[in-house]
Structure 1
Amino acid sequence: MPGLITNGMAVGKRKRDDAAAATNGVKSRKAPKTVGKSDNTQAKILLLEEQILESRTHYNNIVELQSLVNNIDQKPKTATLAAVSLCRVFCRLIASEALVKRNTASEADGQVVQWLKARLRDYVDGLATQWIGSPDPSQESTALTLLMRIVKEETSQGSRRSEQAWRTETSTFYTLVETLLEKTEAEGARQEFVEKYVEEHDDVRSYTFSAVRQYLKSRADEGVDDAVIGHAIELLSQIEGVPDSQDQLADWYGEPPVEKKHQLLSLNAHRKIAQEAWLAIFRSPLTRDHRKAILNIATTRILPWFATRVELLTDFLTDSFNEGGSLSLLALSSIFHLITKKNLDYPEFYTKLYSLLDDDVMHSKHRSRFFRLLDTFMSSTHLPAAMVASFIKRLARLSLQAPPGAIVWVVPWVYNMLKAHPACTFMLHRPYHPAHSVYDKNNPKWRDEGMPNHTFSMSVPDPSHTGAIDSSLWELQTLESHYHPNVATLAKILSEQFTKREYQLEDFLDHSYATLVEAELGKVEMKKTPVVEWEIPKRIVTEEGGDLNRLGGLLEKAIATL
């Protein structure tokens, strides 16, 4: 090559000058030029690359470069230079169709093609297994860039070969997606892959969904590891760009589709492949954490892909609800979105919501989130009064044993619900009315003893048949004597005139014992000095002489009865 000849001449020239200087007995004042070790290595790698591209006789240089790539742990800089060089080599070979076996090729040429394919496979596997998931972010990013550069070249070789490069399990793209699913330490690579390629190119997004579905389906019989399912959820959940129309399908990474009926040009085809990928995850053995991760993004990242087949999600959401706990609430949130946005018919929604009202939810750390969603679910003014009364009555009953932080939300919420549903205000007071004559026969003393409250049953699962509309909210009047002054004061709003339009419930959320105590201690002045027992008695159950006092006698009798 000309470059080699020039270098050789330069070397020869320097030798002649040195010899002449020695003959004349004059030392050269110019310091000899030294070449660093790294420069020699880089020059060697470039020389190997040039020889490969110059002649087939130097294809064995690929093996030498690959050995440098595999030596990433000992010599990372050299390995990176070799990896970049090999990427250029394979891109040139793919572009020149050197890896395509022609029908007219001889047997020797066919063996060369197969050998080159094997070397490309070694190169891709080496980057995927050794570089992806590396603790060095730059090394991982370099591997991702080089692999996707190979993918771009492979998917720009005509429609038939491009389709194979996207879908075949031995292709570079499928190997990359497979590695991203299996590598636990590849969080950064998964995020970069989505941000730089999936979100920017419609074909990469479509074939990523396809590769995930293909991977999970191929390993369904032998069982998919929990970590792999988690990585699949993590990968797909980062995809935000959901196309709204076919006009938005115009950004391609590989060869643009030519056929007018190509699946990449169909919005329904994009949605279908995304649905199949998520359904493949749903059919996998999901843990509780997996379900929680899916439900957290269901309304924003998953449901937009199910614009026409929302019924496919119903079984998954129902099963998630049956898991109980916070999953039930998350599942109902997704179901409510389907009901309001996608017209899903789900008649048991409020029955399931009613079943979540128990003692645990009042003490749960997710209580504020539950209350926010409950207020959203009950915001419609067209709900039946009997059902609304059941929710009001049940929360009022639960508030008797609830912490103050929960009660301070329940009371204003009841106020808002009574304002929105005037038919339920009879639960607060029931003055005599001729229509109440129905009680005269069965309850002749109701005028003196009050309206009977046994009409409400906590054990009835259907909120439309609990009898709450015929009962009273005596529980909230009881809260006016609550030990916490804030709760007692707040409970009195229900016994006064309803002059306020509604309360902003966000002001009453996220309260706890700590916030209530902090609010009390933060007061500058006390209107009334609290009563404290400052004198500590010397004895509790005995008198001065040692005999049992009254309390001690009662304790002795209690022990004797055991």
Structure 2
Amino acid sequence: MAPSLKRNVKKAKSETSVKKAQIDLNNVVFNILQSRKHANDVFDIFEALQSEEENDVVKAINACSNLFCTLLERNELFNGKLPAEDDALNGDYNAEDKYRIFMRHRYNNCTEMLLEHLSHELHAVQEASLCCLMKFAAGEGKHPLMDLDWSEHHSFPRELIQSIVDRMLSQTMDKSLLISRFYEFLEKEDVRYYVMSSIRGNIGQVMDKSKGEVMPVYQLNVFTLMSNISVPKEQSKLSNFMVKQEAKHEDWKAAKLLEHKRTFERMWLGFLKHKLPSNMYKKVLVMLHDAILPHMSEPTMMIDFLTAAYDVGGAISLLALNGLFILVHKHNLEYPDFYKKLYNLLEPSIFHVKYQARFFHLANLFLSSSHLPLYIVAAFAKRLARLALTAPPAALLFVLPFIYNLIRRHPSSRILIHKPSAEDELLEDPYLMDEDDPAQCRALESSLWEIKTLQRHYHPDVVKAAMLINTSLSPNEDDLSEVLEITTFELMDRDLKTSTKSIPLEFETATQLLSPGKDVMGQHFCLE
């Protein structure tokens, strides 16, 4: 037989076997639901569930979903504390109870296999298992399998949700893709509440045992799941539940906004109290001000994390200041060293970091108050002016307007521009660049001579901006948003496009090639 023909026969057999498996599984489910004498056929589904073929496993998962969701709706699974299977067979149970106990054990077996499949190497199997387990959770919510605890959790299947969360928060496998599939289930208020509780419990078990070690894969999975959890701002928004509870059960925590905020807060605090990788610090701090702090019941509890993040240094310190400012400005937190820390972040490297635009936008916001002491305004203006001497042109186009805005907000700081001195007297600048405390840097004793120096800069736009210091500044502040994001490449590209004059390429126009004159070409080259 030719090789191509062999392949076609093999392919046909494979397609036939797959189709047969699909028909068999559908028949198995149908027969089990039609007659209890076929109950043992459930093991055929479990056999397919452990197959090595992706299609067979996915079809077996769908069969499990159809079978056990139907059994849950019919209340044909044993309710209450489940006895051992051997005890049920030998005990004083009637045929009905024995069947219900048998199928309840098979349901538990199925759930365990599906939980294992959440770590399957194939994403299609993981996704199908997750969707099936969430259907089981919804079915258990409507038809509880355990005695109800009306005092707190009611009929919600919190143990199943905890098991699902534990498997998604793997310590060895990146589950970002599976977690992204789980986001749609977080739209349900009760699911979101118990997922937050489960995350908190999982962090307590895993991170506390790690003894401070950084666990990048696990922490990435936790952050990926937590970063897409948000809490409604109003109690009236809590209306979309997976498990409907009776109106009389008003003590259910999952239905209270305050409990959601408390659980959200404890979840994040439990995660952030452990050591994180530097890239994780950045991810948390970028979203902290609008995705975490507004949903917390007591945002001031983040002060320890923010101060620790600032001490890390670099870009992490820049991002931490935004959260600190929110706590100071909106939550009346006393943080006397805030402006001192902000002042110390002004270093030459500030013009070369990824978050440069974000930092200066925030710094402009932090220094917008007209009630700031004059020595602080003078210290920031002077330090920025000194840094401007070595800054790239693109940075100077927003640093100079930044300094001008400070002067406009605080007219008393104009003394830095008009500093009286003797014309023939050579003065040393009293400003102490290396001083960490803006109150001790002696900025008010100095002047902004650096801006005068920049009037001889090589870039014409910088010269134009620096020349404004010679005139009376207008009362209207400059809009920094237009220049904060500009790069050196964009600056050069803009200059090339807007330039209408010819650019000289020679100092002296060449009249002939390799002329025997006194020019450099004639001295070193000849036509002989």
Q: Paired residue for 1:312? A: 301
Are residues 498 and 530 of structure 1, via their aligned partners in 2, closer, same or farther at CA, if it must alter by over 3 Å? farther
Contact kept? 2:77, 2:101, Cα under 8 Å: no
Larger mean CA deviation between 212-221 and 349-358 belongs to 212-221
Q: Percent identity?
A: 27
Deviation at 1:457, TM superposition (A): 1.5
Q: Distance in 2 between matches of 1:155 and 1:140?
A: 23
Residue number among 138, 148, 163 corresponding to 2:134 in the alignment: 148
Residue number among 29, 47, 54 corresponding to 1:67 in the alignment: 47
Match status 1:284 vs 2:274 = yes
Helix, strand or coil at the partner of 1:479: helix
Q: Distance in 2 between matches of 1:364 and 1:55?
A: 70
Contact kept? 1:133, 1:185, Cα under 8 Å: no
Larger mean CA deviation between 379-388 and 519-528 belongs to 519-528
Deviation at 1:374, TM superposition (A): 1.5
Q: Paired residue for 1:321? A: 310
Match status 1:252 vs 2:238 = no
Contact kept? 2:300, 2:327, Cα under 8 Å: no
Contact kept? 2:401, 2:480, Cα under 8 Å: yes
Q: Paired residue for 2:88? A: 107
Q: Distance in 2 between matches of 1:489 and 1:349?
A: 34
Contact kept? 1:363, 1:402, Cα under 8 Å: no
Larger mean CA deviation between 319-328 and 512-521 belongs to 512-521
Give 1:248-397 correspondences, 5 Å limit: 248-256=237-245, 258-307=248-297, 309-397=298-386
Give the residue type in structure 2 aligned to 1:74: E
Residue number among 189, 192, 208 corresponding to 1:205 in the alignment: 192
Larger mean CA deviation between 404-413 and 102-111 belongs to 102-111
Q: Distance in 2 between matches of 1:408 and 1:48?
A: 74
Q: Paired residue for 1:88? A: 66
Deviation at 1:163, TM superposition (A): 5.0
Deviation at 1:278, TM superposition (A): 0.8
Are residues 524 and 462 of structure 1, via their aligned partners in 2, closer, same or farther at CA, if it must alter by over 3 Å? closer
Give 1:469-548 correspondences, 5 Å limit: 469-499=444-474, 501-526=476-501, 529=504, 532=507
Deviation at 1:377, TM superposition (A): 1.5
Helix, strand or coil at the partner of 1:270: helix
Give 1:209-228 correspondences, 5 Å limit: 209-223=196-210, 225-228=215-218
Aligned-pair Cα RMSD in Å: 3.1
Q: Distance in 2 between matches of 1:350 and 1:100?
A: 63
- TM-score, length basis structure 2: 0.82
Q: Distance in 2 between matches of 1:536 and 1:517?
A: 31
- Greater Cα radius of gyration, structure 1 or 2: 1
- Note the alpha carbon deviations across 1:145-177, whole angstroms, 9 max, x for none: 211110011122354397586333xx3x22221
Are residues 425 and 177 of structure 1, via their aligned partners in 2, closer, same or farther at CA, if it must alter by over 3 Å? same
Deviation at 1:420, TM superposition (A): 1.1
Deviation at 1:113, TM superposition (A): 6.2
Structure 2 unmatched ranges of 5 or more: 1-14, 511-518
Are residues 75 and 348 of structure 1, via their aligned partners in 2, closer, same or farther at CA, if it must alter by over 3 Å? closer
- Note the alpha carbon deviations across 1:351-381, whole angstroms, 9 max, x for none: 1100100111123343222222211221222
Contact kept? 1:453, 1:472, Cα under 8 Å: no
Are residues 123 and 536 of structure 1, via their aligned partners in 2, closer, same or farther at CA, if it must alter by over 3 Å? farther
Q: Paired residue for 1:23? A: none
Give the residue type in structure 1 aligned to 2:467: K
Q: Paired residue for 1:11? A: none
Give the residue type in structure 2 aligned to 1:98: L
Larger mean CA deviation between 146-155 and 453-462 belongs to 453-462
Helix, strand or coil at the partner of 2:143: coil
Q: Distance in 2 between matches of 1:480 and 1:294?
A: 42
Contact kept? 1:404, 1:484, Cα under 8 Å: yes
Q: Distance in 2 between matches of 1:112 and 1:101?
A: 15
Residue number among 180, 183, 197 corresponding to 1:191 in the alignment: 180
Deviation at 1:284, TM superposition (A): 2.8
- TM-score, length basis structure 1: 0.78
Contact kept? 2:408, 2:477, Cα under 8 Å: yes
Residue number among 123, 126, 137 corresponding to 2:110 in the alignment: 123
Deviation at 1:61, TM superposition (A): 1.5
Are residues 136 and 230 of structure 1, via their aligned partners in 2, closer, same or farther at CA, if it must alter by over 3 Å? closer
Deviation at 1:232, TM superposition (A): 1.0
Larger mean CA deviation between 57-66 and 46-55 belongs to 46-55
Larger mean CA deviation between 124-133 and 372-381 belongs to 124-133
Q: Distance in 2 between matches of 1:282 and 1:273?
A: 14
Deviation at 1:399, TM superposition (A): 0.9
Are residues 459 and 524 of structure 1, via their aligned partners in 2, closer, same or farther at CA, if it must alter by over 3 Å? closer
Q: Distance in 1 between matches of 2:136 and 2:18?
A: 27
Q: Distance in 1 between matches of 2:195 and 2:344?
A: 40
Helix, strand or coil at the partner of 1:60: helix
Helix, strand or coil at the partner of 1:464: coil
Structure 1 unmatched ranges of 5 or more: 1-34, 432-445, 541-562
